[in-house]
Each structure stands twice: as structure tokens, then as C-alpha cells.
A and B are shown apart, each in its own frame.
Chain A
């Protein structure tokens, strides 16, 4: 939070119609460090673009919308975490079923067929989940870079999902073909 004295001074001067550059010069002349002046102006701008700004949504609406965005990223993170659990669970169940029902079955033999599928989907799901959860954690900061990161994360997650869908089809098609041929 910037200095209240500095903020009050900037507000008063701005009301008089003095330009930002002139106020900055005055503050520097009064001995305020540049970093504190920058911080005060940035804070002032964020308030301007906040509830009162015609381009921004109202404070109540904004917190609701940001809450929805955060919830969305949390759901995405949970979705991919669940995908990891399901993938690992499938492997556990298949292994147990083999050991229990097939005498002399070789452990994890099914991983030798298109074995790349499991680690690739697992890795991609973890990346997507991690991106979503870190974005969700960053959102309350509401900085420009957070917004950029959130958009990039969303694009990455969308791309990852498409890759997973494609890989799943590549993995399942031959098995369906084989079971149909029998």
C-alpha cells in the first residue's frame, strides 16, 4: 500500500488539473523516492480503472466475476488431478485383475502395448492441472502480467486437452478394431 500522504497529495494536485509529469517533478523535489511515487500512481490508476471507470465492471460484479474465473481454474485443476488419479487407478485395477484372474500373468504386461500413452497423458494432465492451480493462486493479484499468464495458461490447457483426446483415439482405435475382428 503506497503512502497515504503521497496519495492524498497526488489526488489534490490532480483535482487542480496538474499533469502527472508535473506532480512527479514536485514529489521528487520534495524528496520522495521514485519507487514510492511510481507505486502511488499505479495504485491511483488501479482505482481509476476500478469501480468508477466506465470500462471496468462494478466492484461487486468484478469480485463475482473474478470469483467465477478462480472457480473455473480450480475446477480445471481438479479435473486434471482426477484424470491422473483415474489413470493410475486404471493401471492398479488392471494389474490386480490380471494377477487375480490369470495364472502366471506377467506384472504390468499391458504397459508394453502402447506404453507411451500412460506417461504422456499423465505428464500432460499434471502440467494442465499445475497451470490451472497456479493461475488460480495468482488471480487475486490482478496485475496485467497475471491476466496475460491466465490467458496463456488457458490456451495451453485447451491445447493439452486436444492432444489428450487425439492420443486417446490413437490408443483405443486399434483395440476396438481387434475386439471387433474377434
Chain B
């Protein structure tokens, strides 16, 4: 049994590809003197096999990869699709911190707080190359949902934070581009969130990791929502 294991191990460690190519080289050199046929002998035409081979192993995969690259570099963020399927205005940020880009399409989630409408969520973050370079993730999540009337933003935030075990601070803030709109910065040791309730009845939260995204950046993102 041990011998079998050893043979299996040896086979795994043996670079079979290089051994195979080496054997082919040796065989070609051994039979070199047999390659002396006149060059004008008519030979079988393999065009159709090569055409099929090219179709299956070059054209079809190339088309698939091409389509994939098009989708990767010109992604469908599905804003129009989502904005058309909910009964409130879906806001989009005009500002994002450096190195941050939209990392998900606009998508709907079940609304755990109100039954009025689904929540529209989008993620923003570093792309994979940036993530590898910086070795630290930075994720920003924007949630938007329609609120029932009447609605008190402060009461809503307090109800959400009252069960929190870590220390939470709730500070009222001003968002200059949304005058007369109640807004709060809610911070704990893990995440910071800017909450605001727009005049058209949309509850927006902009959330990120406290240690990775300065609160000023969160406020700037909230300010840039259109």
C-alpha cells in the first residue's frame, strides 16, 4: 500500500508534460531518417476538421470572452430598471471618495423596517486590483426606501440603536444640498451611518466602516445625492 502511495506521489510530482514533450523530441530524432518521402505526394485534406476545431475552440470561446469583457467594462448598473419598478425617486451619488467605485448594480431587497416598499441598495468599494494593492477593503452601502407617513427620523434611529451593545452617538447634521431635511450621523465603533429623510419621503442611509471611511466623506456622499 505504501509503495502504491509512493508511486502516486511520484507521478504527482513528476512534471508529466515536460517528460512527455521530452519523449516526443527523442522519438522525432530517432525517426528522423524515416522522414524522406518526396514532398509532392498528395495528402488528405483536413480543412473541415480544422474549421470545426477553430469554431469550437477559438471562435465560440472568443465570442463568449468578448461578451464577458464588454459586460465587465460597460456594466449595466440597472438604475432605470430599478427606478422604474419602485414608487419613489431613487437617488444616485455624484461624488465618491478616491479609489471608490460602484461595486454593485442597483438592486431591491426586502424592507425589514416598513412594508411600504422594498429597499433599493447599492454597494460602493474598491475594485479587486485596488483591493490587492491596498490590502484593506472599504465598503460603502447606500440604502433607500419609502417611509410611511407620519415619520420621525430621530425616533426611528433611536429604536434601531436602543438594542446596540456598543456605544452609539447620534449627532444631528446639516446637509447643505438638502435644506430643511432632517439628517443624523450615527456612529459606533464598527460602522458610521448618515441617515436622512428627504422631503419626498425617502429614507436614505449611507453606511461604511468607521475606521476606513471618515465621516466627512460620508456626509459629502450624502450631499452629492441627486
Residues of A within 8 A of B (CB): 38-39, 42-43, 45-46, 49-50, 53, 55-57, 62, 65-66, 68-69, 72-73, 75-76, 79, 81, 84-85, 87-88, 91-92, 95, 102-115, 118-119, 122, 126, 129-130, 133-134, 137-138, 140-147, 150-151, 154, 157-158, 161, 174-175, 177-178, 181
Contact = CB atoms under 8 A, between A and B. Distances in A.
B129 interface: yes
Contacts, number: 179
A151 B109 CA distance: 60
Given A49-B34, A147-B35, A181 B105 contact: no
A58 to B, nearest CB: 10
Contacts of B127: 112-113
Interface in B64-91: 64-65, 68-69, 71-73, 75-78
Contact of A122 (B40, B62, B129): B62
Contacts of A151: 25, 28
B34 A57 contact: yes
A84 B155 CA distance: 58
Contact of B34 (A56, A72, A158, A181): A56
Interface residues of B, number: 59
Contact of A66 (B34, B36, B39, B106): B34
A140 B43 contact: yes
Given A126-B61, A158-B18, 8 more contacts: A62-B34, A73-B24, A106-B104, A109-B72, A113-B132, A115-B69, A143-B38, A161-B21
Interface of B: 17-18, 20-21, 23-25, 27-28, 30-41, 43-44, 46, 49-50, 53-54, 57-58, 61-62, 64-65, 68-69, 71-73, 75-78, 102-107, 109, 121-123, 127-129, 131-132, 135
SS class, residues of chain A in contact with chain B: helix
Contacts of B123: 104
B85 to A, nearest CB: 14
B105 A106 contact: yes
Given A88-B64, A109-B72, A68 B27 contact: yes
Contact of B38 (A42, A104, A108): A42
B50 A134 contact: yes
